[in-house]
Amino acid sequence: MIGEFEYVLLTAASALGDDAYGVSIREQIESATGRRCSIGALYTTIDRLESKGLVTTWLGGATTERGGRSKRMVQLTPQGVSAAREFYNAIMRVSRDASWAVERGKGIV
Amino acid sequence: MIGEFEYVLLTAASALGDDAYGVSIREQIESATGRRCSIGALYTTIDRLESKGLVTTWLGGATTERGGRSKRMVQLTPQGVSAAREFYNAIMRVSRDASWAVERGKGIV
DNA sequence: TTATTACTATCACAATGCAATACAAATGAT
DNA sequence: ATCATTTGTATTGCATTGTGATAGTAATAA
């Protein structure tokens, strides 16, 4: 099972589609979670996800317009999508009757 | 932030209410997740949750009928409920637009 | 050739997850 | 009483995941 931060990163990369790379993923995570994402957390997790085959990465072309190192693009593999779905479903399944998970039209109240 | 297994344990204990103790929590986890829950994972996590103030535990009375050590009862503290709610909300928020999380009638709102 | 900008990489340690193994207490039979 | 049985809990040691601090790399402009 992947960890929580790994899940967050996969989700952010998925949301960004073709624009997913280190910096944009970091911004996406910070905006989606409201919490800070450190550089170390970011790249070590990308590395770990890649070595597990859950994402692939490659160096982006020279699309930069004003200086700067080239981007390391990130994309989920089918296994990455599966792993994320599994994590999500596991949380949903476990939370089914939790008081903090009740939504409209759901359960006894 | 609590970890995924800590969340699962909090949820199981919450679901069991007054019947929450080591063995019953373990069974609840295994039935809710479909995965095995080892003894070590169980008690070390209970210890950690207690030291963080997310659960309280105490030794149950002599309600056993056929032998056996007394139970270590577990109950969520208000902080435990908050931590679980936070974890759940964080996952929900991040997953809002994920392809694997789409449900009916789910807009940005 | 140097300064600036945009980005990625590494390290070291903390927090969390987990299997294997050992230990404790209550009961009932002898 | 003491011993086997039953029901549960506790400890140890290591693997995995999370994260801040720090360093490094490459492109561009002046």
Confidence of residue B86 (pLDDT cuts 50, 70, 90): very high
Angle among Cα B35, B5, A101 to the nearest 5 degrees reads 95
Q: Cβ–Cβ of A7/B91 closer than 8 Å?
A: yes
How far apart are the C-alpha atoms of A64 and A62, rounded to whole Å?
A: 6
Distance from residue A34 (CA) to nucleotide D7 (C1'), in Å? 46
**pLDDT number for residue A64:** 61
Give how far the C-alpha of residue B87 lies from the chain's centroid of Cα atoms, to the nearest Å: 12
Whether B45 shows a pLDDT value over 80: the answer reads yes
CATH of A4-92, one of 1.10.10.10, 3.40.50.170, 3.90.1640.10, 2.60.40.10: 1.10.10.10
User: Which CATH architecture fits B4-96?
Assistant: Orthogonal Bundle (1.10)
B61 touches strand D (CB under 7 A): no
* Contact between residue B12 and residue B28 where contact means Cβ atoms under 8 Å apart: yes
Whether B5 shows a pLDDT value over 90: the answer reads yes
**Taking residues A59-74, what's their average pLDDT?**
81
Candidate from A19-28, A44-53, B16-25, B66-75 with smallest mean pLDDT: B66-75
Confidence of residue B105 (pLDDT cuts 50, 70, 90): very low
Domain boundaries, chain B: 4-96
Confidence of residue A63 (pLDDT cuts 50, 70, 90): low
Find the CB nearest A95 among B11, B96, B100.
B11
In single-letter form, the type of residue at position A44 comes to T
